[in-house]
Amino acid sequence: MPLLFATIPIVIGPGLAKARVVPLVLVRHPVLVRSSDSRLRDLFARADVMTEGSARDEPGGRFWYGSTSVILPADDRDSAWLAAVAGRDMHVRLRAVRTAHREACLRAPGRLGRFACEIRIVPDARGVRVDVDVQAPLIERRATSRARP
């Protein structure tokens, strides 16, 4: 039986490249924006967060309605640019929704059900303001407990 050798075709392509500092934002056409997770985490860590809300009785049960404002710090001259970028970046919106969900869970009188929200991102004098309005049904425990066997 003849001996067969595996052949590997010659690899042609880009070579190795040195690692660089990750920029805050990468932009492609059509306009897709991706922010740096570490820089974004730092902005949200330094953000000013304010939340208000209350439970309301409705025909379908009790619902939690609330609003969370997150002000991301930025220079006044950069706030319009950063607001435009933040409005196109899914990661900014996701972090804002998670922040609003955490704040609502802390303030609601019970567990929250399915969470629905609206997000607005606008420039502010102190940076970029991300407003998240939330609505969620309250999951309340039974008034009577089950009898144990």
pLDDT in tens, 42-84: 999 999 999 999 999 999 889 999 999 999 998 878 889 889 8
DSSP state of 103: H
Can you give the pLDDT at residue 149?
A: 57
The candidate with the shortest Cα–Cα distance to 137, out of 57, 50, 51, 52, is 57
- 3-state class of 84 per DSSP? helix
What predicted TM-score, i.e. pTM, was given to this entire model? 0.72
